Structure 1
Amino acid sequence: MKVFKVGFIALTKASWATPEIDNLRKTMLASLKTLPYEIVADDSLTTTAAEASALCADLRKQDVSAVIVFMATFPVGAIVPVIAKELPVPVVLISTPEKPQANRMWTQNSFCGSNMAVHTLRQLGRKNTFVFGPAEQAGELVKRPLEILKCVSDLAAGKVGLVGGRVPGFYTSNCDEMRLRAKLGTEIEIIDLLEIVDTAKKLSEAEVKQGVDTVRKTAAVCAKTIEKDIEPAGRMYASFRKTAKKYALSAYAIRCWPEWSDIYGIAPCAVIGMLNNDRLVSSCEGDVLGAVLMQIEASLSGGIPFFADLISFDYDQDTAVLWHCGAAPSAICRKFEETTLSQHFRVDGGNKKGLTNEFSMKAGPITLAQLDEDGDGYRMLIAKGTALDTEPFIRGNPLNVRFDCTAERLVNTIMTEGFKHHYSIIHADIENDLLELCRWLDIKPVLVK
């Protein structure tokens, strides 16, 4: 993944530059350097378009992914177009509060500088975001905007391994590969299912042992009937990990049926959960956009997403059940002692071949989302709510949710707008972050409240 570097440019007019103004620059830069990113900056205020052009050339050379532009004072108006033209990365504008100084002088006019800049950037077709606050708090002020921009950058550098294609009849898993590359930057690596199988056969004893050990640790209980499936699952897991390294993958979208049980002997469900435990996000049923969305949710929250279907709802209780067949990551289980490696209840008629990990999900704040193609672009369904304490009342991985909107409104939106049947849930409130991400990526948000 590309290293996320951030440029820093502090603007002023030469006639407004003073030691006090330069101290503001130094204070802000010190605060920004507390962030977990490399901050690339000049050691002076930028006062002319020529100086800005030279600095932009250096920032391009150092391959920054975003730039923070500090209006230390009201700047020379010609500087912002130079930055817009010569540094094609997202812009974060920052201004600081001020009070009249000696002789009632207004020495910065910082906000006015940003106000002029946002109009200029808009006229030039350049998106930006703006924050406002004291120079010593700059790191905290830009933290969230930069996390969103890092997500954008990671998507542009990402590569999803599509293993085996989509499952039969699931047109909801279709994905326009070139649209994804053009709009979000994410690449798709086509991988044959047989490559995973062949790699699994050729693993070293140490690789197999490590895979098997990981399988056993992923659940508290192993049903007696699946003991024969532990080694194949360990080999499959190690094979997916090795293949991800081979192709430099950031995610998987896996065709998880119908061939696996015939070709390999078991279904990959529990292994998909294990990959997600490792933060190698992996969607079921060959859903590439599902995998991309899972990456987004993981990046913005720091958590592990749950790829699921919406299977029931109760208008009286205002709840809905999200579920999948046993591919959920045990890292987000309700109680680890409930996690059980079992034979799949559907494959080959049910209870004949492994391997699923069955348990219910943990309670807490959640955000549900779905990324879908729309016209020549994308749209994103967003609904937040609260995951309720959910007993493992059905086979697989259930989660009962009470959304902030009514269940009826959510269902009506899904059904009238024709959204897909796959969703990604993250245990965090990232509604505002998703809306901001949609703004940066020209994704149409469909917010259900």
Structure 2
Amino acid sequence: MSTVPAREKVLYLPIVRGFYDRELTRSAVAAVRSATSELSLAGVFPGPAAGGDGLIQSDADFEAYWAEWRGQLYDIKALVVLSGDFMQERRAMDAVRLLPEDVPVFLLVHNDDPSDMAPGRAGDSLCGSFSVHHNVRMLGRRMVRSARLDLSQPDIVRRTLAAWQRIMDGVEAWRGMRVAMLGVNPSEFATTFTNQAELFRLGVSLHPYELLDFWGDTVLSANPQAALALGGIKLRQPIAVDDPRIATVREQAAGILDTTAMPPATFETMARCFLWIKDVFERDRIDAGAIHCWPEFGRYFGMAPCAFAMLANALLRKPVVCEVDLCHAVMARLAWVMTGNAGVILDFNNNGWEPRVLNVFHCSQTPPNWLRDKGVACRTGQVEGTIRPGAFTGVSAATSADACHATVFRGAFLREAPPVRGSSGWAFVPNLPAVLEAVQNTTIHHFVAFEGDVAAELVDVLRFRGVQVADLSCELRSLDEIEAELGGQGKTDRRRPAVYPV
């Protein structure tokens, strides 16, 4: 997290033109206030001093409202312009001018009732909304999202604001996000090399750590004779072999991970590595990490980092992804912020038996919310299990020489289970050929899966932060419907395809 607190306030700006029935907007504001409270959003609304009834029309109204919220300027994370009539668009411009460029702007419009269009009853809000959009663009900004709704229906209002809340939280989480780079990129391949300057430009703060320090603080610190033989080594954040927290790690791990196959010494090393991650991330305010795993990590630590990386994601809400893949560390952090659940990094790994099916796999650090049963930590530290069925939102990301790219798509993990190797599953993506083409042209073999459908909100967050997004999220039917269409074939009939797309 940044060295300054995350912004929390949502500024609402209810604007009216003046010669329309003010009740159209007053009732809309009441509905939005109620939904804001239900969602525990920290909303800022005008008091009676602004406009006499909390609606903003004139310069004097805006000035009175400004006096109310100017002391909270640096705690405002989003602006929501709100109205039920043609609107005074200059008031929206006044607010946008005062807010930093990294504050997203939204527009919420109360629809007219087509059955009651008599003079004085119609608000002309559709027409007015286009003026607000244009006037915001004239300032070099744009609406992140706008909605024209019947604001007298509470469920619609609440559902819309809940989606916008995910966007606001994702945008705010990106601001000053701190990502640990644990070691250099793997020596075996250059796929996950990242344009670090591009991530800095987009607002991500990268923090490098030497694997040598990590090794010294966790492995060497457990062997005093070896440390003495090497001589003169100063450990920075050593985790002692008798650290009393190791017992707590054992209890926490037992609830979400079967570690019986891990030799006791391997588990002890794994637990010390987890505690080192915990201590260093807390000390340096780190939100997520990407670690140099194979092949070098196993040579020096005697295990893969998968198990403690999974624990960091599940217990600390601080994902640690593999292969120093910094872009997907960012995406895994967004998964927590936007869904309240851990994301999982996976490979586009194997073709399926038809063009919309593929096998996803990782060694892996798959968190428990993604597995059908409790994951099994094998003797060398990888977490094994089968991906549970259900809908997901996927994002594959990578940098180029001058940009950060992302491909966003929808999919569903199927009930049919492949043989267990690492963590794996069959996935259905309705437009998989197009997704694979976008991936091979702009990103890499990794993607992060978010629970459920947050594709539209994720696209808005990424675009707002300057990522070049290929939005390939198309309609996804229910899992029952998908499997009914794919069914009818026995496993023995699922042959290697003669041609697979892309």
Q: Deviations over 1:214-240 (max 9, x none)?
A: 3333323612x6232111111111111
Relative to 1, partners in 2 of residues 1:3 and 1:210: Cα closer, same or farther, differing over 3 Å? farther
Of residues 186, 197, 200, the one that matches 2:204 is 186
Of residues 309, 316, 320, the one that matches 2:358 is 320
The answer to whether the 8 Å contact 2:386/2:424 transfers is yes
Of residues 266, 276, 281, the one that matches 1:239 is 276
| Matches of 1:52 and 1:374, distance apart in 2 | 44
Of residues 153, 161, 169, the one that matches 2:180 is 161
Of residues 170, 174, 191, the one that matches 1:151 is 170
| Matches of 2:196 and 2:64, distance apart in 1 | 38
| Aligned residue identity for 1:90 | P
Of residues 161, 171, 178, the one that matches 2:190 is 171
What is the CA distance between 1:284 and its match in structure 2? Answer: 0.5
State the partner residue of 1:281.
319
| Matches of 1:48 and 1:176, distance apart in 2 | 48
Relative to 1, partners in 2 of residues 1:442 and 1:241: Cα closer, same or farther, differing over 3 Å? same
State the partner residue of 1:349.
none
State the partner residue of 2:456.
432
Relative to 1, partners in 2 of residues 1:54 and 1:289: Cα closer, same or farther, differing over 3 Å? farther
Identical aligned pairs, as a percentage? 19
| Aligned residue identity for 2:126 | F
Q: Provide structure 2 residue ranges, at least 5 long, that are not aligned to the other structure.
A: 48-53, 218-236, 475-502
The DSSP-based 3-state class of the residue aligned with 1:145 is: helix
| Matches of 1:410 and 1:311, distance apart in 2 | 14
The answer to whether the 8 Å contact 2:35/2:161 transfers is no
Q: Deviations over 1:256-282 (max 9, x none)?
A: 234433433332111111122222122
| Matches of 1:94 and 1:369, distance apart in 2 | 28
State the partner residue of 2:50.
none
What is the CA distance between 1:18 and its match in structure 2? Answer: 4.7
Relative to 1, partners in 2 of residues 1:447 and 1:74: Cα closer, same or farther, differing over 3 Å? closer
State the partner residue of 1:32.
36
Of residues 85, 95, 100, the one that matches 1:83 is 95
The answer to whether the 8 Å contact 1:166/1:174 transfers is yes
Superposition map of 1:257-406 within 5 A: 257-278=294-315, 279-316=317-354, 318-336=356-374, 339-343=375-379, 354-374=380-400, 376-391=402-417, 393-406=419-432
The answer to whether the 8 Å contact 2:109/2:148 transfers is yes
| Matches of 2:99 and 2:64, distance apart in 1 | 11
| Matches of 1:160 and 1:294, distance apart in 2 | 11
The DSSP-based 3-state class of the residue aligned with 2:378 is: strand
Relative to 1, partners in 2 of residues 1:270 and 1:392: Cα closer, same or farther, differing over 3 Å? farther
| Matches of 2:390 and 2:81, distance apart in 1 | 38
| Matches of 2:271 and 2:349, distance apart in 1 | 30
Relative to 1, partners in 2 of residues 1:390 and 1:286: Cα closer, same or farther, differing over 3 Å? farther
The DSSP-based 3-state class of the residue aligned with 1:359 is: strand
The DSSP-based 3-state class of the residue aligned with 1:32 is: helix
State the partner residue of 1:347.
none
In the superposition, the TM-score normalised over structure 2's length comes to 0.78
| Aligned residue identity for 1:30 | S
The DSSP-based 3-state class of the residue aligned with 1:28 is: helix
| Aligned residue identity for 2:275 | A
What is the CA distance between 1:254 and its match in structure 2? Answer: 1.2
4+ runs of 1 displaced by more than 6 Å? Answer: 100-103
Of residues 130, 148, 167, the one that matches 1:132 is 148
In the superposition, the TM-score normalised over structure 1's length comes to 0.87
| Matches of 1:311 and 1:269, distance apart in 2 | 18
| Aligned residue identity for 1:172 | T
What is the CA distance between 1:159 and its match in structure 2? Answer: 0.9
The DSSP-based 3-state class of the residue aligned with 1:434 is: helix
| Aligned residue identity for 1:134 | D
| Matches of 2:256 and 2:423, distance apart in 1 | 14
State the partner residue of 1:55.
65
The answer to whether the 8 Å contact 2:136/2:142 transfers is yes
Relative to 1, partners in 2 of residues 1:178 and 1:48: Cα closer, same or farther, differing over 3 Å? farther
More displaced 10-residue stretch of structure 1: 251-260 or 147-156: 251-260
| Aligned residue identity for 1:67 | L
The answer to whether the 8 Å contact 1:159/1:187 transfers is yes
What is the CA distance between 1:392 and its match in structure 2? Answer: 5.6
What is the CA distance between 1:56 and its match in structure 2? Answer: 4.5
How many matched pairs? 433
Q: Deviations over 1:191-248 (max 9, x none)?
A: 222443413534763222212333333323612x623211111111111111111111
The answer to whether the 8 Å contact 1:148/1:437 transfers is yes
Of residues 104, 109, 121, the one that matches 2:124 is 109
Relative to 1, partners in 2 of residues 1:18 and 1:381: Cα closer, same or farther, differing over 3 Å? closer
| Matches of 1:24 and 1:413, distance apart in 2 | 42
Q: Provide structure 1 residue ranges, at least 5 long, that are not aligned to the other structure.
A: 344-353
Relative to 1, partners in 2 of residues 1:94 and 1:204: Cα closer, same or farther, differing over 3 Å? farther
Relative to 1, partners in 2 of residues 1:18 and 1:362: Cα closer, same or farther, differing over 3 Å? closer
What is the CA distance between 1:45 and its match in structure 2? Answer: 1.5
| Matches of 2:291 and 2:265, distance apart in 1 | 23
Relative to 1, partners in 2 of residues 1:77 and 1:382: Cα closer, same or farther, differing over 3 Å? closer
